[in-house]
């Protein structure tokens, strides 16, 4: 009996936990705390944090692949099933979940502000500057072009795009890249305001913008069709992301598939978000994360995001000058593709300076352009180094 008790104790996680596991469990609890108490994007941080927590509890086998042995006939025979999260992770690994997320984003997003103000495309494009700047920096720090591309895309503040590109160019870096991208998405309200205030004057932040023109239903229906044709013909590798984004938006705007639109906006994207978040968190093992390479990825990712935000604001300042003070440069910060978080941050910072400032819809134009821009940037990098 005592031997059985001793054997049972040996199989518990308490005797197999490492210092690295404890550190990662603490990080997971911090993410969950930020999500619940500080309400920093709980839809992202709770599943990511809990996935990180589960994978760092020893002996669970949740991410273990299936084991095979050679049978009498020389063919592989299944010896042991893989872990639950291993199978769910195939949606990340095979590039299935990110396009489905894009479909949901397209179905939830009104592209009207971008159509009403096409100049917003320039602000969305400027915010992608951080991706290519960080690509150059990562390359000169010793990362391969494929690895540098996967790290640089973090600057788009777009978790699905980061996962999509990393699975194709640097699958061995998927864990830290995915967690970094989603962490910075969640921390947009903390990271962006200091950069926005540093690069703008009080007078610029107080600028009130005129109401956008109404956009017709015909324009809204034609927009996703035309963008799909033009962008995918130019960059075929962007088809999974751009195609699903525009399909979701067409569901929303065409007015004849309400059930499909509702499913894409609610049930589908919620289910995929749970699976993607938990499995992204499950890549955050102590072995994969507690090393200098991962720290470098997080630092470069933060640099990419900061440069992207700054580039958007700087172009906003140029447009402010050229327009005779009619454009608030803060909206340039929304050029990163964290929809609609970045647009909300612009509204918050602008209203703090001028309570009559209503910048949300103006910021949604660059924000939507940023989603398209990050997908295009991923297509460019995939075409060059895939």
DSSP secondary structure letter of residue 267 = I
pLDDT at site 41: 81
**Average pLDDT value for residue range 206-222:** 94
- Give me the mean pLDDT over the 280-304 stretch: 90
Q: Is the pLDDT of residue 331 over 90?
A: yes
Q: What is the percentage of the chain residues whose pLDDT exceeds 90?
A: 71
Q: What is the pLDDT of residue 209?
A: 93
| pLDDT (0 to 100) of residue 6 | 72
pLDDT-derived band at 76, boundaries 50, 70, 90: confident
The sign one gets for the Cα dihedral 102, 103, 104, 105 is: positive
For residues 315-331, give the mean pLDDT: 94
Residue 10 has pLDDT above 90, yes or no: no
Task: Please choose, from the candidates 87, 97, 302, the residue with its C-alpha nearest in 3D space to the C-alpha of residue 179.
Answer: 302
Q: How far apart are CA 372 and CA 156, in angstroms?
A: 10
**pLDDT per residue over 27-73, tens digit each?**
999 999 999 998 888 988 899 999 999 999 998 999 999 999 888 88
At 338, the pLDDT band (50, 70, 90 cuts) reads confident
User: Looking at the predicted structure, is the pLDDT value of residue 201 above 90?
Assistant: yes
80 beta partners: 67
CA atoms within 13 A on the CB side of 31: 28
CB 310 within 8 A of CB 40: no
Report helix angle 129-140 to 145-152, nearest 10.
140
User: Is the predicted pLDDT of residue 326 greater than 80, yes or no?
Assistant: yes
Q: In the prediction, which pLDDT does 118 show?
A: 92
Instruction: Tell me the average pLDDT across 177-187.
Output: 86
Task: Work out the pLDDT band at 26, boundaries 50, 70, 90.
Answer: very high
Tell me: pLDDT of 237 over 80: yes
Q: Tell me the two tokens of residue 131.
A: 């991706």
pLDDT category at 86 given cuts 50, 70, 90 is very high
Whether 369 contacts 383, CB under 8 Å: no
Task: Please report where in the chains the tokens 């140029």 appear, as a residue.
Answer: 318
Rg (CA), the chain: 22
Q: What is the pLDDT of residues 122-176, one digit of tens each?
A: 999 998 888 988 899 899 889 999 999 999 998 887 889 999 999 999 988 888 8
Alpha helix stretches (DSSP H) within 257-291: 258-263, 269-281, 286-289
Q: To the nearest whole number, what is the mean pLDDT of the chain?
A: 92
Is the pLDDT score of 74 beyond 90?
Answer: no
Q: What is the dihedral of CA 19, 23, 28, 32, to 10 degrees?
A: 120
Q: What angle do CA 365, 378, 131 make, to 5 degrees?
A: 75
User: Residue 184: what pLDDT?
Assistant: 84
Q: What pLDDT score does 183 carry? A: 84
**Cβ count within 10 A of residue 215:** 18
User: Which pair of tokens denotes residue 227?
Assistant: 């963008």
Beta bridge partners of 67: 80
Distance from C-alpha of 215 to C-alpha of 223, rounded to nearest angstrom: 11
Chain-centre distance for alpha carbon 209: 29
Q: What is the mean pLDDT of residues 292-299?
A: 90
Mean pLDDT to the nearest integer, 234-240? 94
Average pLDDT over residues 176-204: 90
Tell me the average pLDDT across 299-309.
91
217: pLDDT confidence band, cut at 50, 70 and 90? Answer: very high
Dist. CA 115–CA 125, nearest whole Å: 15
Q: To which H or E segment does residue 69 belong?
A: strand 67-70
């Amino acid at each position: 009996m005592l031997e059985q008790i001793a054997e049972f104790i040996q199989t518990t996680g308490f005797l197999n936990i490492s210092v690295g596991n404890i550190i990662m469990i603490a990080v997971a609890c911090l993410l969950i705390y930020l999500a619940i108490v500080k309400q920093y994007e709980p839809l992202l941080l709770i599943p990511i944090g809990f996935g990180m927590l589960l994978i760092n509890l020893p002996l669970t086998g949740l991410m273990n692949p299936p084991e095979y042995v050679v049978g009498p006939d020389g063919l592989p025979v299944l010896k042991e099933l893989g872990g639950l999260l291993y199978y769910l992770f195939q949606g990340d690994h095979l590039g299935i979940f990110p396009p489905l997320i894009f479909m949901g984003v397209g179905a939830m997003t009104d592209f009207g502000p971008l159509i009403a103000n096409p100049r917003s495309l320039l602000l969305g494009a400027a915010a992608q500057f951080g991706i290519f700047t960080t690509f150059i920096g990562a390359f000169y720090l010793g990362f391969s072009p494929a690895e540098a591309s996967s790290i640089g895309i973090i600057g788009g503040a777009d978790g699905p795009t980061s996962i999509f590109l990393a699975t194709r160019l640097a699958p061995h870096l998927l864990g830290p890249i995915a967690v970094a991208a989603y962490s910075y998405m969640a921390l947009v309200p903390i990271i962006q305001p200091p950069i926005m205030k540093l690069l703008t004057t009080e007078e610029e932040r107080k600028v009130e913008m005129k109401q956008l023109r109404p956009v017709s239903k015909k324009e809204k229906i034609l927009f996703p069709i035309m963008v799909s044709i033009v962008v995918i013909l130019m960059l075929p590798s962007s088809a999974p992301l751009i195609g699903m984004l525009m399909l979701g938006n067409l569901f929303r705007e065409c007015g004849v598939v309400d059930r499909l639109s509702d499913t894409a906006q609610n049930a589908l994207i919620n289910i995929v978000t749970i699976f993607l978040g938990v499995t992204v968190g499950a890549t955050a093992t102590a072995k994969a994360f507690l090393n200098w390479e991962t720290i470098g990825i997080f630092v470069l990712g933060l640099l990419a995001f900061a440069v992207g935000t700054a580039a958007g604001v700087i172009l906003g300042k140029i447009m402010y000058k050229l327009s005779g003070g009619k454009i608030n440069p803060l909206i340039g910060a929304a050029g990163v593709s964290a929809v609609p978080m970045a647009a909300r941050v612009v509204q918050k910072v602008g209203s703090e300076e001028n309570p009559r400032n209503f910048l949300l819809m103006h910021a949604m134009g660059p924000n939507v352009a940023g989603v398209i821009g990050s997908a295009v940037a991923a297509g460019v990098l995939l075409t060059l180094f895939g």
